[in-house]
Structure 1
Amino acid sequence: PASRSLLDNLYFAYTQTSIWDLSADSKPFRDTSYKPRLFYYVADTGLHSPWFTRMGFAAGIGHESNGKAGPDSRSLNILFVQPTWEFGDLTSYHWQVSPMLYYYLGISDNRDIADYRGYMDLVDKYGSPDGWQLSTTLRKGTHH
């Protein structure tokens, strides 16, 4: 709420995920995904409730690609909205719930991606800002 301009809360993030085949002789990476994102983020929206300590909000656009060309290429773009609710003492161990709802853009080579990923990730986290944190992301596709 203390932000003075739109650019104060505009962020760029980059995540890279590599799946490593530890059972193979030379230990190759089986797959790598590159995930840049541009998003607007507010850690505290100023909304208060007896049910939660703080509510944050993020919304933006993301891209995911394996960096390959031709028939091995995999890429998609999403628009996303992600509210975050935190419960408990924010300076100590506390719980955080953060559903990310998304809409697919440009999935020409991934027409059935929603069958596998669905339209929402649910991030559930417990921990301390200056200590250990345990987090899990739940995702379910539209088909079994």
Structure 2
Amino acid sequence: MNWRYIFMIPALYLSSGLAQESIDRENEQDSGIDLVKQCVLNEVIAGDEKQTIAELKEKCTALEESKQLSFLDKRMAREKVSGKNRNVITPHRRNYILPVSYVSHPNARPFDGFDELSDDDSGEPLDNLEAKYQLSIKVPLYDGFDDEDQGVFFGFTLQSYWQVYNKDISSPFRETNYEPEIFWVNFLDSENVLWGDEMAIVLGFSHQSNGRSQPNSRSWNRIYADFIWENRGFVFSFKPWYRIPEDEKTESLSADGDDNPDIYKYMGYFEFSGAYRMAQHEFSFMARNNLNSENRGAIQLDWSFPLWGRVRGYAQYFNGYGESLIDYNADIERIGLGIVLTDLL
């Protein structure tokens, strides 16, 4: 895979005048959110209780008159409503299920023990066809900053791989990854934006593990920064991280020590991603690379599209290392189709 072409994607996007026309139309007629109604909900649930109806009306009408809200502004407005509503869960990353996904060469090495359960000793224990799903939520922990565009959040993401069609080994969940994290978010004021039309900075700590015993235990801890910016309707994210080192194992099957000391060789030190919404379709990409002679990394392409109501179709393609922790050092290629409940933008 030639990574030079992956990093040309943003440049090609930004060179197109169609991008600005599309975002202008999206701002003028946004079918996903009525900005005035959203503002009223924000103020009723979480606003200043002392403000008068006239003050509320003036504040929310100003949003409609500007018609210049970015996709990041709109998502933040929606989250402010859900963050104060105890009957609503705020999404963090995408929430989706791929009932059908095809893996060209599933990594069967950690599951050699399943062979003894199979009648066909010559066959692989894992099916190429499996289901994949992701659940991702967050809750605000502290939003008492003087700047209302700042906040501290707790997030949790669960991603699971299910051999649902593999009746020979009782349809097990092949791998499940759990990622709790805590992070601070700051949406910058317009005069402080370094590049693009809108910008946010995230600083956080993340723990990710698969919750399994030896020899298939995998985990790592990271501190990270995430620089998010929007330019002419395209939203990009550059997320570098530092892995917190662990002690070396004294014995290979010991519960203490580093389960995967070479994970950086496959996952690298950063993730670069982008998303764009055109009408009711959302397109995104993610790229990683370890930036050395081995040229290991990954790319993921996503497309979501309308079906009915809240239900949207979702297609995903992944190629590379680190799709899951158990496969962090296995080269995986997957294509899947399903539904998504919450998008990025």
Provide TM-score, normalisation by structure 1: 0.80
Q: Check whether the contact 1:45–1:56 (CA below 8 A) recurs between aligned residues.
A: no
Matched, 1:119 2:263: no
Structure 2 CA distance for partners of 1:131 and 1:59, relative to 1, 3 Å = farther
Instruction: Provide closer, same or farther for how the CA distance between residues 16 and 127 of structure 1 changes in structure 2, counting only shifts above 3 A.
Output: same
Q: For 1:21-100, what aligned pairs fall within 5 Å after superposition?
A: 21=163, 24-25=166-167, 26-46=170-190, 47-48=192-193, 52-88=196-232, 94-100=233-239
Q: CA deviation at 1:113?
A: 0.4
1:11 maps onto 2:153 in alignment: yes
Residue 45 to residue 39, structure 1, CA distance change in 2 (3 Å): farther
For 2:185 and 2:282, the matched residues in 1 are separated by 21
SS at match of 1:9: strand
Normalized per residue, the structure richer in helix is 2
TM-fit CA distance, 1:37: 0.7
- Give 1:48's aligned amino acid: V
Greater percentage in strand: 1
Structure 1: how far apart are the matches of 2:154 and 2:187?
Answer: 15
Q: What's the secondary structure of 1:55's corresponding residue? A: strand
Identity within the alignment, %: 28
1:103 aligns with 2:246: no
Structure 1 119/12 Cα, relative in aligned 2: closer, same or farther at 3 Å?
Answer: same
Deviations 1:48-79 (A, max 9, x none): 36x51111110110000001123221110000
The whole-number CA distance in structure 1 between the counterparts of 2:189 and 2:241 is 20
Indicate if the aligned counterparts of 1:127 and 1:134 stay in contact, CA closer than 8 A. Answer: yes
Contact 1:10–1:41 (Cα < 8 Å) also in 2: yes
- Return the offset for 1:131: 4.7
What SS is found at the alignment partner of 2:259?
Answer: coil
* Separation in 2, partners of 1:66, 1:81: 23
What per-residue deviation string (whole Å, max 9, x for no partner) do you get for residues 61-113 of structure 1?
0000001123221110000001111012xxxxx21110100000144221100
**How far apart, in 2, do the equivalents of 1:116 and 1:125 lie?**
24
Q: Whose radius of gyration is greater, 1 or 2?
A: 2
- The 3 A distance-change label for structure 1 pair 131 and 4 is farther
Number of the residue aligned with 1:138: 287
User: What is the root-mean-square deviation in Å for CA atoms of aligned residues?
Assistant: 2.4
Cα shift readout 1:91-144 (whole Å, capped 9, x = no counterpart): xxx21110100000144221100111000011111127x954222211123533
Report deviation, 1:43: 2.8
Aligned residues: 134
Structure 1 unaligned segments of length 5 or more: list them.
Answer: 89-93
How far the C-alpha of 1:41 sits from its partner, in A, is 0.6
Cα distance change on mapping 1:133 and 1:117 into 2, 3 Å: same
1:91 alignment partner in structure 2: none
Matched residues in 2 for 1:135 and 1:118: separation?
A: 20
Where in structure 2 are there 5+ consecutive unaligned residues?
A: 1-144, 247-257, 296-345
